[in-house]
Structure 1
Amino acid sequence: MSLLRLEDVTRTVIPPDQPALTILSGVNLTIEPGDHVSIVGRSGSGKSTLLNLLGLLDLPTSGVISFDDRPVKSYSSARRDRLRGASIGFVFQQFNLLAGRTALENVTMPLLYSSGRTFWQRKRIAAEMLELVGLGHRLNSMPDRLSGGEQQRVAIARSLVRGPRLILADEPTGALDLDTGQSVMELIDDVAERTGAAQVVITHDPMIARRARRHFRLDRGILTPVDDPAFEPLTRREMREMAPVEPSGDAAEDEADVLDMFADDRRES
């Protein structure tokens, strides 16, 4: 059973006093559980529109989008919202942090919709996730007191804190330095691998794209597989050389605790 499938999906908008504009045309894409897909495309190619469809934020003008092999159009708006909140984690170029809320409060927000052990220990789980992205010392900082890179790491922690089944990332390391960016991608990959989450990453960075197993190019609303040596998946040796230092001691135990929480929440939901 596929996790998410797009079949002949088209998205058309009608600007005021203008003819209809087709943003996406005949898109076909299947995402399996645990999949890792990269999508490259220039500005204006339809990437944001495609992400909104993959994230169940919008519906297609024509074609079919299925989640767990059930057409999304058959869901009510409220059910799509619940499905999105429970199963999909977003990392956008914009940080979209809540002003007037600390880093800890921003990351805790998605856990308010959890149940059982995860709900009752939401603050500890959020704090440990922030520790994992290198912000354990900024738990009580407001967004306007954080650098751009720190705000992006808060956004990434928030997207991962519920252990989503699908991670949608739009230039996730765009505001980060090289070392921090690789650490964040390693964290995303590790959480995805341990929880079985699929990843769809939109990026201009060929090294980030190479972390994926399948690659696509979006050009003028048309999605095509990429057969380019520059996007050959990284070898195990290259992945080891790029990986940050493994956590040890208490940090490693905290990471294991967070991932155990994800598994418990999945079983209870």
Structure 2
Amino acid sequence: MRLEDVTRQIVLRDAPPLQILKGISIEIEAGDRVSIVGRSGSGKSTLLNILGLVDSPSTGRMSFDDRPVQLMRAKDRDRLRGSSVGFIFQQFNLIDGLTATENVAMPLTYSGDSTFWRRHDLAREMLHRVGLGHRLDSPVSTLSGGEQQRVAIARSLVRSPRLILADEPTGALDIDTGESVMRLLDETATEIGAALVVITHDQAVAQRARSRYQLDAGVLTPATAAAQAAS
């Protein structure tokens, strides 16, 4: 994924446009480990949505595998997102009333190939990989916070995405569980060769990444440069 001088603004009635992202440039290669730290209101969610092909830049250039994303038709962009991007949300976004296996299998429901018929087997395999082989048929409402997070991770990885976007993945967890989840996420991403981008406010989580950035008022800066500017 490559962003070049990307901006995102919202047009307001009877007021100047609200500039959320300002000249964002970042390149994410296969296997990269990237963290982006920012306070509430800094534009983290907007940047996450653009990286995840949910939203589009107002200006600038964006490409995936050297393919200009902005020139894609909406259905092609949606197909690319479904096959290549995995999301892990802070609040898990699991579906109550479904089991762990059913939740993990959900992204495969819309597959147009043989994975549709194998979706439950693939979901069970992924749950075993994240240490939940004993919880396959458990309703997610009966799982602990750490177990629910593992289900969310399994769901994001079941299609072997090339880019994993984790939004505050430890925000709802205690320190020990959060450390375990990050270790699991990194190990599993390594197994499938995916790039991992973590959006967080936790410096301890951010320090795990090889490439670290600071997002402040819509401006993205390498963490070392941001620290030098602050000093």
TM-score, normalization by structure 1: 0.77
Q: Which residue of 2 aligns with 1:143?
A: 140
Tell me which of 80, 94, 97 is aligned to 1:97: 94
Structure 1 residues 136, 180: CA separation in 2 closer, same or farther (over 3 Å shift)?
farther
- Give % identity: 65
1:12 lines up with 2:5 in the alignment: no
Question: What are the residue-to-residue correspondences of 1:83-122 with 2, within 5 Å?
Answer: 83-112=80-109, 113=111, 115-116=113-114, 118-122=115-119
Once the 2 structures are TM-superposed, how far is the Cα of residue 114 of structure 1 from its aligned partner?
Answer: 6.4
Question: What are the residue-to-residue correspondences of 1:1-80 with 2, within 5 Å?
Answer: 4-80=1-77
- More displaced, 99-108 or 30-39? 99-108
- C-alpha offsets along residues 5-62 of structure 1, whole Å, 9 cap, x if unaligned? 0011000012444431000000000111111111100000000000000000011000
Once the 2 structures are TM-superposed, how far is the Cα of residue 172 of structure 1 from its aligned partner?
Answer: 0.9
1:220 lines up with 2:193 in the alignment: no
Rounded Cα–Cα distance in structure 1 between residues aligned with 2:41 and 2:144 = 28
Structure 1 residues 56, 8: CA separation in 2 closer, same or farther (over 3 Å shift)?
same
Question: What are the residue-to-residue correspondences of 1:201-216 with 2, within 5 Å?
Answer: 201-216=198-213
Matched residue type, 1:6: L
Structure 1 residues 155, 214: CA separation in 2 closer, same or farther (over 3 Å shift)?
same
8 Å contact 1:152–1:175 — kept in the other structure? no
Structure 1 residues 180, 91: CA separation in 2 closer, same or farther (over 3 Å shift)?
same
Q: Which residue of 1 aligns with 2:192?
A: 195
Matched residue type, 2:79: R
Q: Which has the higher contact order (CA 8 A, sep 6+)?
A: 2
Rounded Cα–Cα distance in structure 2 between residues aligned with 1:73 and 1:206 = 33
Question: What are the residue-to-residue correspondences of 1:148-167 with 2, within 5 Å?
Answer: 148-167=145-164
8 Å contact 1:173–1:181 — kept in the other structure? yes
Structure 1 residues 190, 127: CA separation in 2 closer, same or farther (over 3 Å shift)?
same
Report how many residues are paired. Answer: 225
8 Å contact 1:133–1:184 — kept in the other structure? no
Matched residue type, 1:161: V
8 Å contact 1:173–1:184 — kept in the other structure? yes
Per the alignment, in what secondary structure is the counterpart of residue 108 of structure 1? helix
Once the 2 structures are TM-superposed, how far is the Cα of residue 102 of structure 1 from its aligned partner?
Answer: 1.7
Tell me which of 124, 127, 133 is aligned to 1:127: 124
Rounded Cα–Cα distance in structure 2 between residues aligned with 1:80 and 1:6 = 16
* Structure 1 stretches lacking a partner, 5+ long: 231-269
- More displaced, 181-190 or 205-214? 181-190
Per the alignment, in what secondary structure is the counterpart of residue 95 of structure 1? coil
